[in-house]
């Protein structure tokens, strides 16, 4: 994603009933601020400001947009506004809550709930720096991504795609539950009559169809990114970029190294999600969730078998001593 070269709004600025505290994040499409509303509640305000189309100098509020960039800027602004309206209809614990959106400074702002925590990317990097093995536990991956997919199903139900799913856009609350953030690349809805503004994608997490101008985008596109994000939890880095995979796919070698660290069931699910051909992936989030449901861990099966074996061994060791009461003893030990 392109860097954000625009100057942020000044700290302390009052805008539409909110007071800007500071810039907390930025990307090629937008800048995000921590702010307070009139009741003193903390909120996050996202400002539509594509750095490739607009330029704002320090001390200014309204960005300068060249005439040749203005039509594309306006299409993006409309999509950003529509995205805010769509997200405002979604009330789900695993999707960022949009509480308001407004126009000012010749652009659009989206007001979202602010929560303490850190991104999944930060969580992965901290564990990697500490040398944790495994990097992220299978239990964590299964449980956390189950919640992520609950939120994503709600997003798809509202005919919206995310199109920029990655660990940096999955936010972990203090209690560990995830929230889907930054739908900044979600310019394409499932409605074919919407104007198209092709998203900026993140190599490694972006599905192959995002590299193609008229790619067939759908739930399967976000599913690829879910698989890529689960893979990143395992190895601490994104998968091989999709365009490179089409020329020389090296993912098999990476998956083989994960055998023995993670269950073959989980690795199969991630392989399925990361198929280059969209038709070979799960076609819905529900199908992926069904495949991700955790089976009885093999370790538990082994422990139970060992426990039963010990009991049977004890039975036969005591058979000579309790020959008159064998049937009762077997019933007691196998109950």
Using one digit for the tens of pLDDT, what is the confidence trace for 230-261?
999 999 999 999 999 999 999 999 999 999 99
pLDDT reported for residue 6: 93
Q: Which two tokens stand for residue 290?
A: 């069904």
Rounded to whole angstroms, how far apart are CA atoms 39 and 201?
A: 37
CB neighbours (10 Å) of residue 191? Answer: 9
- For the packed helices 219-235 and 264-273, what is the interaxial angle rounded to 10 degrees? 140
Rounded to whole angstroms, how far apart are CA atoms 136 and 232?
A: 9
- Does 319 have pLDDT greater than 60? no
Looking at the domain that runs over 117-292, which CATH code has it been given?
Answer: 1.10.510.10
Query: Quick one: 29 exposed, middle or buried, by C-beta within 10 A (0-12, 13-18, 19+)?
Result: buried
pLDDT reported for residue 293: 86
pLDDT reported for residue 191: 37
Residue in this structure with the two tokens 């991104």, named with its chain if needed: 119
Give me the helices (H) in the chain, please: 70-88, 120-130, 138-157, 219-235, 242-247, 251-258, 264-273, 285-292, 298-318, 326-334
Q: 70 or 298, which is more confident?
A: 70
Query: Per-residue confidence at 85, pLDDT binned at 50, 70, 90?
Result: confident
Considering the entire predicted model, what is its pTM? 0.79
CATH 3.30.200.20 fits 14-113, yes or no: yes
21, containing H or E segment: strand 18-26
pLDDT reported for residue 160: 86
Which sequence spans correspond to the domains of the chain?
14-113, 117-292, 301-334
- Does 294 have pLDDT greater than 90? no
Handedness of CA 246, 211, 239, 288 (dihedral sign): negative
CB neighbours (10 Å) of residue 312? Answer: 13
Task: Give 125-153 pLDDT, tens digit per residue.
Answer: 999 999 999 999 999 999 999 999 999 99
DSSP 137-206: -HHHHHHHHHHHHHHHHHHHHTTB-----SGGGEEEETTS-EEE---TT---BS-TTSPP-PPP--TTTS
- Does 187 have pLDDT greater than 50? no
């Amino acid at each position: 994603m392109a860097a954000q070269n625009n100057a942020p709004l000044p700290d302390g600025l009052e805008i539409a009933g909110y007071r800007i505290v500071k810039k907390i994040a930025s990307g090629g499409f937008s800048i995000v601020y921590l702010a307070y509303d009139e009741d003193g509640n903390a909120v996050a305000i996202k400002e539509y400001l594509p750095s490739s189309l607009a330029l704002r100098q320090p001390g200014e509020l309204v960005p300068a947009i060249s005439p040749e960039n203005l039509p594309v800027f306006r299409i993006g602004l409309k999509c950003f506004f529509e995205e805010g309206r769509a997200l405002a209809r979604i009330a789900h614990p695993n999707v960022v809550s949009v509480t308001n959106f407004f126009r000012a400074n010749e652009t659009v702002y989206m007001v979202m709930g602010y929560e303490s925590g850190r991104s999944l990317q930060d969580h992965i990097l901290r564990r990697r720096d500490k040398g944790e093995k495994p990097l992220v536990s299978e239990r964590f991956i299964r449980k956390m991504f189950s919640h992520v997919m609950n939120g994503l199903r709600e997003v798809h139900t509202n005919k919206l795609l995310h199109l920029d799913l990655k660990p940096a856009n999955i936010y972990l609350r203090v209690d560990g539950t995830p929230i889907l953030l930054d739908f900044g690349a979600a310019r394409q809805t499932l409605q074919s009559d919407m104007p198209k503004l092709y998203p900026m994608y993140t190599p490694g997490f972006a599905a192959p169809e995002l590299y193609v101008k008229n790619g067939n985008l759908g739930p399967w596109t976000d599913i690829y990114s879910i698989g890529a994000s689960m893979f990143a939890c395992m190895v601490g880095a994104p998968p091989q970029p999709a365009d490179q995979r089409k020329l020389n796919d090296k993912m098999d070698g990476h998956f083989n190294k994960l055998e023995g660290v993670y269950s073959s069931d989980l690795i199969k699910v991630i392989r399925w999600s990361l198929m280059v051909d969209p038709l070979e992936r799960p076609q819905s989030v529900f199908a992926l969730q069904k495949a991700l449901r955790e089976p009885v861990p093999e370790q538990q099966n082994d422990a139970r078998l060992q426990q039963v074996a010990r009991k049977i061994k004890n039975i036969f060791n005591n058979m000579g001593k309790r020959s008159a009461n064998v049937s009762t003893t077997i019933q007691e030990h196998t109950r």
